[in-house]
Structure 1
Amino acid sequence: MRTNLGRLTRLRGRADTRTVALLAVLALGLAGCGADARSNEPHTTASAAPANVDYNPQPYDNVKDGGTLRVPGSVIEQGNPFHADANLSAARFWFWYNADAITYSPTGEVQYNPDYFTAVKTAVVGGNQRVTITINPKATFNDGTPIDYRSVEATWKANNGSNKDYYASDTIPYSRITAVHAGTNDKQAIIEFNGVNAWWTALFTTLLNPKAAADATTFNTAYLKKVQPQWGAGPYVVTKYDPETGDATFERNPKWWGKKGKLDKRILVGLESQAAINAFRNGELDYASAGDAEGLKQISGVNGTEVRRGGSPFEYFLFLNAKAPLLTDTAVRKAILESVDRKQIAAINLQGLDYSEPLPGSAILYSFQKGYHDNVSEVIKHDPGAAKKELDAAGWAVGNDGIRSKDGKKLELGYTLTGDDPLGKATANAFAAQLKPIGVKVDIKVVSENDFDSITSGRKFDLFLAGNRSLDPFGARYLDSFYGSTNNDNLTGVGTPELDQKIKAAAEIADPDQQIAQANELEREGLAQYGFIPLFSGPSIYGVPKGLANIGATIFGTPLPETIGWEK
């Protein structure tokens, strides 16, 4: 699963945010495209992004019983993680009161949770994959509905794209399932595939209660600014939730059949990023994240706490809305992306973090992963000179004011900025300065962080900086999310029917290495649609109390909720 993350940030989520920047960084952003803005770039010298973790991993028996964990919360518009409009905050919220049947280690190894799946077998019969899942006899949703093959079936049917009214985010892999049926009894689910799916585990990391998938209206709207604790399952249950503020309380679930949660309560307090850091510094929160030097400075040195930092399965992008009137022409989009100086943008955002990474070369894999290839550098070159020529050829003439125009329309684009932190403004100003020399005027439009979901779901932008957080290591399977012309997750709207068919064919390649190789080739074709460009990843940085166990920088790992608490 991948989720969008907001800036200040962005989705595909908004849980991890970028906060106040140093004045030096702001000055750097205002420097535009000058040499000074690129003079200090230690972060671009690494051959691969760091893949280290830092989260104080502790076994269940080494965690104290009791205590309350207080963390920042955020308003969640769409709480169904299978819905195309769901974001990172929604996925993390869901994780605490719904089935966590399959998780991953920090490096991406599959882990089956025996409280849900007691045995899993895969086989290939006549060229088609068959997955047999034996479900824990005790596994039951809070409303009394058994967790059985019907839950797997409901999850498949809601996401397979056969009913377009279900606004699902990831239909291609589910569409290759031909049937889900009971095995020896209802507590055994047999999943039949057409062909072989190398990444099938990512489809059933969690399960929908059949009642939540009963019809498209329920699937699409039941979790709109709502929680449905009766449809959940797990060691914790939501006991309080305020959809206007994001405040929530999780308490131990009396209907849970597994090891009880170590914490008594987990409390979410709806706060924007700077307010969350202030609350952490005042001892009112047990967790704060930082994405820039000033944020790191503010969460450091707080009495009784420590900073945990590691690698990041995050990536930030500049998205272009290919459906916007001035951006329907591929030549215009190409010129814009060729004018973006990614080194400067990365320098603005990563300065002062003592962190090194190469410029990202892919939207589907990170540089520390096997099979990664720098596809971006083969397709999108930083060449403002070439960009000018392409705009000339496309009929966009430079006016006396330096702004290009065509057919009476000026090449003026809006840059939508969520939040008003100085780092975000510095980045926006840098983009504007980079595009000005090629004759493109950028108008910066500041909106509330809470508008993020409506901006992305409604594609209400020309230029938008947004990010992605990978919740599993199987990047090749997300080609369609970025480049599929009909995929609900595609923020830009680029793509072609021909590329769609190639992406579907790639998903049917059984050998993981071969599928990744083909995915790299198709990504280069997708990047040539010029819908977006990857900018930077950055580290994961968190402030937490000393002794807090199983919280921090985990890469792909997600410690189960019942294991989180304070070390003995």
Structure 2
Amino acid sequence: MNRARGAVALAVTTVLAVAAVTACGGPGGPADGAHAGAAPQAGAQGLAPHPVSDLKQGGTMRVSVQQWITQSNPHQIDGTQGDASAITSMVEPSLFSLDAKGEPRPDPDFLASAKVVSTSPQVVSYRLNPKAKWSDGKPLGWRDFEAQWKALNGSDDRYRAATNSGYEQIGTVQRGADDHEVRVTFSTPYADWQSLFDPLLPASLNATPESFEKGWVGRIPVTGSAWKVGAFDRTAQTVTLVPDPAWWGRKPRLDKIIYWALDGTSTLDAYLNKEIDDTSAVDPEKYQRLKNDRGTDIRVGARWDQVTLSLNGGRGPLADVAVRQAVTLGVDRAALAKVAGKDLPFEPRVLDNHFFMPDQAGYQDNTGGFGKRDVARARKLLDAAGWRDNGAGEPRTKDGRPLTLEYVMPGDALALQTDQAKLVQRMLGEIGVGVRLRKVPGSDYFDKYVHRGNYDLTQFRQVDRVFRASSYADYRMPRGDNAFTNYGRVSSPEVDRLLLEATRTTDVARQRTLYNQADARIWKLGHSIPLYQRPQIIAVRKGLVNHGAPGLGDEDPKTIGWLK
């Protein structure tokens, strides 16, 4: 399925985000037995491809989401949760689709063409499909682009945008030669211009800060794609999508897609009871139960999916860079990856880079001495920072305050995340850092804790940063109350400068150099700890095809269906 790449998406580590619903492979999936094969390389995807002539017309696909969606605007700071972005991208125009390598291609249902027509200044011409229109009957046009630019360019702080990257570098958005052409002129070059206006939203809903913030709460008021919202059922905790009869392109094969908000601990039983049609099999216990199920295909792909331990530098002891560095040195990432890979067909890869996945061009180790656990060095850093060692099993103290951190996690977390949290607790205890585990309601985890910076430590996933410019918001300097998606509020003017320059550089080699220079400084700042690339291992009901683990790419939801 298409993903909201203009936004940034987060997901809980142990629950599948709908944006990458399932994976590939034939019956039996990957080889049985722990670590039987190598992790899939960049570009690996599996969609169980079939021509649509092999499919039944009609049928329902039922999938789970990890919480009830409150904010459906993927560009608003509270709309970055992965399930929300994924649902919205199904019903709003996604101008580009990504192939298996993550390369963007204009979607002909919306764009006849999109290209850079001038480099000094950079000007992009979008030629719109004249048939494309919104559910209110209005055609897609240049004013939709203009309103989205104005809402997201940072000129009005009342728009609480998840990211301004790219939009703040646009100088003008204008009507082109006719109503079907949009011309976007950049004040400074922007390399990842294909990531912008994705999904495109109607001008009416970007028109004012109020419509931007409140127009999408508990609803999706205007759509513009092959699917539309059939029902929001708060009682049943379901969102139902149905084909839009006004759709101008190829008709979907399915009659319905139902998203059901389920407690993370319930998804396995719901799948085995045939209440949903796919589920994550990345948790070792779940994989062992699912791999030999006769009605199941295990499908695998290589997604941009980083499991991250976030350190909140905006409050408490972690406001001190020395403490963040000590915590980084106190965590054994290889041990956490090993736990994640127990009984899986391959072991997750430890990540030494915040911006690139292993096997992607540009990936290199920038840890600079912070990638390996070093208890002695961590203790020295805490000594020098004035935290007194009180002996084994006791937290250090300073000015009468204990060095204790609150590790926040969703209450419906599966066994893997709980086990890893306890491991972190034990690891940090060995350097004199106390860790108090706190479980919060899963439906509140992002909205009230992660997005608000109400934690000292927490673990989540950063996903689908195929366009690296979309990562800028994760590490940039906060602006007043808006931390963008830098929830831990750790940054520096130098990191900001390097990342901004990288977004403005069209030379690919220079871009990679700048991202890696910024990455080295991010490690020194103790911003966050990339743990490992999360495997994309999904159990899918046999017979459900053209739907899988798209890896770096996209699925075409119009072709998803059940075999005859």
Task: Provide TM-score, normalisation by structure 1.
Answer: 0.90
Conserved 8 A contact 1:5-1:15: no
Give the distance between the partners of 2:266 and 2:40, measured in 1 at CA.
33
Matched residue of 2:444: which SS? helix
Conserved 8 A contact 2:475-2:495: no
Give the distance between the partners of 2:34 and 2:425, measured in 1 at CA.
21
Say yes or no: does 1:413 pair with 2:405.
yes
Conserved 8 A contact 1:100-1:560: no
Conserved 8 A contact 1:48-1:367: no
Matches within 5 A, 1:124-273: 124-125=118-119, 127-224=120-217, 226-229=218-221, 231-243=222-234, 246-273=237-264
Conserved 8 A contact 1:403-1:439: yes
Give the distance between the partners of 1:448 and 1:178, measured in 2 at CA.
43
Deviation at 1:545, TM superposition (A): 2.1
Deviation at 1:59, TM superposition (A): 4.2
Give the distance between the partners of 1:350 and 1:130, measured in 2 at CA.
46
Deviation at 1:142, TM superposition (A): 0.3
Deviation at 1:243, TM superposition (A): 3.9
Deviation at 1:539, TM superposition (A): 1.4
Give the distance between the partners of 1:14 and 1:404, measured in 2 at CA.
42
Conserved 8 A contact 1:76-1:243: no
Give the distance between the partners of 2:425 and 2:69, measured in 1 at CA.
31
Matched residue of 1:443: which SS? strand
Summarize the Cα distance change of 1:42–1:285 in structure 2 as closer, same or farther, 3 Å threshold: closer
- CA-to-partner distance for each residue in 1:63-106, whole Å, 9 max, x for gaps? 43211111113311321111122211011111221112211012
Give the distance between the partners of 2:137 and 2:246, measured in 1 at CA.
9
Matches within 5 A, 1:38-53: 51-53=43-45
Q: 2:90 aligns with which of 91, 96, 99?
A: 96
Say yes or no: does 1:534 pair with 2:540.
no
Q: 2:552 aligns with which of 538, 550, 556?
A: 556
Conserved 8 A contact 1:477-1:507: no
Give the distance between the partners of 1:88 and 1:152, measured in 2 at CA.
23
Give the distance between the partners of 1:316 and 1:386, measured in 2 at CA.
25
Matches within 5 A, 1:107-506: 107-125=101-119, 127-224=120-217, 226-229=218-221, 231-243=222-234, 246-376=237-367, 379-399=370-390, 402-418=394-410, 419-453=412-446, 454-470=448-464, 473-486=466-479, 487-506=483-502
- CA-to-partner distance for each residue in 1:141-191, whole Å, 9 max, x for gaps? 101222111111122111111111111122131111111111111221011
Q: 1:8 aligns with which of 4, 14, 20?
A: 14
Partner of 2:25: none
Q: Which amino acid aligns with 2:12?
A: G
Matched residue of 2:118: which SS? strand
Q: 1:71 aligns with which of 63, 83, 87?
A: 63
Conserved 8 A contact 1:49-1:357: no
Deviation at 1:48, TM superposition (A): 8.3
Give the distance between the partners of 1:41 and 1:318, measured in 2 at CA.
25
- CA-to-partner distance for each residue in 1:452-473, whole Å, 9 max, x for gaps? 2211111110110111111x52
Give the distance between the partners of 1:508 and 1:310, measured in 2 at CA.
31
Conserved 8 A contact 2:91-2:229: yes
Matched residue of 1:280: which SS? helix
- CA-to-partner distance for each residue in 1:507-543, whole Å, 9 max, x for gaps? 2112122112111111111221102110112311111
Give the distance between the partners of 1:449 and 1:15, measured in 2 at CA.
19
- CA-to-partner distance for each residue in 1:487-507, whole Å, 9 max, x for gaps? 411021011234323322222
Q: Which amino acid aligns with 1:324?
A: R
Partner of 1:510: 506
Matched residue of 2:91: which SS? coil
Larger mean Cα displacement after TM superposition, 475-484 or 245-254: 475-484
Matched residue of 2:443: which SS? helix
Q: Which amino acid aligns with 2:451?
A: S
Q: 2:519 aligns with which of 502, 516, 523?
A: 523
Summarize the Cα distance change of 1:477–1:306 in structure 2 as closer, same or farther, 3 Å threshold: closer
Q: Which amino acid aligns with 1:211?
A: S
Matched residue of 2:88: which SS? helix
Give the distance between the partners of 1:245 and 1:173, measured in 2 at CA.
39
Deviation at 1:196, TM superposition (A): 2.2
Matched residue of 1:528: which SS? helix
Matched residue of 1:103: which SS? strand
- Unmatched runs of 5 consecutive residues or more in structure 2: 22-32
- CA-to-partner distance for each residue in 1:432-455, whole Å, 9 max, x for gaps? 110111111111111222122211
Conserved 8 A contact 1:49-1:366: no
Summarize the Cα distance change of 1:245–1:441 in structure 2 as closer, same or farther, 3 Å threshold: farther
Task: Provide TM-score, normalisation by structure 2.
Answer: 0.90
Summarize the Cα distance change of 1:284–1:357 in structure 2 as closer, same or farther, 3 Å threshold: closer
Conserved 8 A contact 1:49-1:356: no
Aligned residues: 539
- Unmatched runs of 5 consecutive residues or more in structure 1: 18-39
Q: Which amino acid aligns with 2:48?
A: N
